[in-house]
Amino acid sequence: MANINANLLRVPKSYLFRDIGNRVSAFMETHPDADIIKLGIGDAVQPIGRCIASAGAMRCADMASAEGFAGYPNEWGMMPLREAISRRVYGRAIPADNIFVSTGAKEDSGGIQDLFSLDTKVLVPNPVYPVYVNTNLMYGRTDIGYLEGNAINGFLPEIPTDIEDSCIIYLCFPNNPTGQVADRGYLKAWVDFADRTGSVIIFDAAYSAFIQSSGIPRSIFDVDGAQRVAIEIGSFSKSHSFTGIRVGWTAIGKEVELSGLKHAYKVRDLWANRQAYRTNGVSHILQAMALEALSDEGMEASRIQVAGTIHNALLMGDTLRELGLNPVGGIDAPYVWCPTPDGMSGWDFFDLLLSQCSVVCTPGEGFGTAGANHFRLSAFAHTDKVAEALERIKRLRL
Ligand code: MLT
């Protein structure tokens, strides 16, 4: 028998949303008539734009012609999409050469760790999207620093003043799970920290399309100095309902470097080589869909979907406040984050909502110790279902 990678045993036995899925399935077995409303995982429910579906269908049909057929979609084969992301998302501040198309933000936020030595310290906020922590544990990293977010600091953890070592810093704004956003000053302070310590920021921008408030940066690259210290991960999943289609990207700051034994290496070049070994790219059909997603028509489809999701999030926030709770987020983000009533544990509240209302939420404990006694509602749901779920929650008389 071959030996296991023992690091795999360092992570929880079941991924948070897999665990929730299993609990919901068990409930459905014993309550087959329950009308379950899922506000747990942030999974798209609105159909993709028609123009996007047509672009995919056409590209698929083209593959049956001698002129339209194409083989491996390697780095160069993905250039039109990389160009379009450079233009539409970054106003060309990040050149197409520094953008790498992938099958999604989740894959890249774990895979990016291939770049760093195993003894690099990792800094994450707490609460935190569990993928950042657990993929690092799987790699064998042991030095993970948690920065606490709470109601007092608005879930924007203080930037450490006592760390001199270079770190991998995970930031996600709009934030999953808290739905909070960061202004330019806060992000600039992180960029300055990274500059001072020789750290690299992995900036998860998967929810940037949900920012409504003016003046909030949609990208870390809107912040001075980020080209030296940041790698941004983007995605079509939440902005264009691509959760089941799978296209994302990694954008690497033009000047980000890592030090080796003798030289400094451009991260752009390291990642290009890593990708060449790890992947043959994203299918031509999905690329055509993503390219269309960035067209004016595709962006309009996204705008309508995002507006619907934000409408849901605002409804959630208003209802929770009516109930005397103190939610945050849900204004520039599809998630509403809230302390549980009477300090219940998040899992107890999850059980209460499921058993009494047939509503699924996500318990805060799933996002780390600072998530204790909190829950998250996802606004990715049909508005009538959200309204119904909120009515049921109101009837609980919390
Ligand atoms: C979430 O609901 O937080 C995530 O988007 C689900 C996931 O991709 O793991």
DSSP states along 103-165: S-HHHHHHHGGGGS-TT-EEEEEES--HHHHHHHHHHT---EEEEE--TTTTT-PPPPSS--S
Cis amide bond preceding 174, omega within 30 = yes
Q: Which residues pair with 265 in a beta bridge?
A: 258
Q: Which atom of ligand 1 is nearest to the CA of 40?
A: 2
Within 10 angstroms of residue 109's Cβ, the number of other Cβ atoms is: 24
pLDDT of residue 183: 97
CA of 320 to the centre of ligand 1 (A): 22
pLDDT of residue 340: 97
In sign, the C-alpha dihedral spanning 232, 236, 241, 246 is negative
In Å, what is the CA distance from 343 to each residue of 46, 120, 325, 372?
34, 36, 11, 9
pLDDT of residue 275: 94
pLDDT of residue 260: 87
Structure tokens that stand for 105 in this block: 């933000």
| pLDDT, one tens digit for every residue, the chain (398 residues) | 999 999 999 999 889 999 999 999 999 999 999 999 999 999 999 999 999 999 999 999 999 999 999 999 977 778 999 999 999 999 999 999 999 999 999 999 999 999 999 999 999 999 999 999 999 999 999 999 999 999 999 999 999 999 999 999 999 999 999 999 999 999 999 999 999 999 999 999 999 999 999 999 999 999 999 999 999 999 999 999 999 999 999 999 999 999 988 899 999 999 999 999 999 999 999 999 999 999 999 999 999 999 999 999 999 999 999 999 999 999 999 999 999 999 999 999 999 999 999 999 999 999 999 999 999 999 999 999 999 999 999 999 77
106 Cβ closer than 6 Å to some ligand 1 atom: yes
Structure tokens that stand for 135 in this block: 């993929």
176 Cβ closer than 6 Å to some ligand 1 atom: yes
CA of 44 to the centre of ligand 1 (A): 10
Please choose, from the candidates 125, 94, 56, the residue with its C-alpha nearest in 3D space to the C-alpha of residue 234. Answer: 94
Burial class (CB in 10 A: 0-12, 13-18, 19+), 262: exposed
CA of 177 to the centre of ligand 1 (A): 9
42 Cβ closer than 6 Å to some ligand 1 atom: yes
pLDDT of residue 75: 75
Whole-model pTM? Answer: 0.97
Q: Is 359 helix (H, G, I), strand (E, B) or coil?
A: strand
Please choose, from the candidates 311, 305, 302, the residue with its C-alpha nearest in 3D space to the C-alpha of residue 387. Answer: 311
Within 10 angstroms of residue 5's Cβ, the number of other Cβ atoms is: 11
- Whether the Cβ atoms of residue 122 and residue 168 lie closer than 8 Å to each other: yes
CA of 41 to the centre of ligand 1 (A): 6
Whole-angstrom distance, CA of residue 156 vs CA of residue 150: 8
DSSP states along 43-64: ---SPPPHHHHHHHHHHHHHTT
Structure tokens that stand for 186 in this block: 């806060």
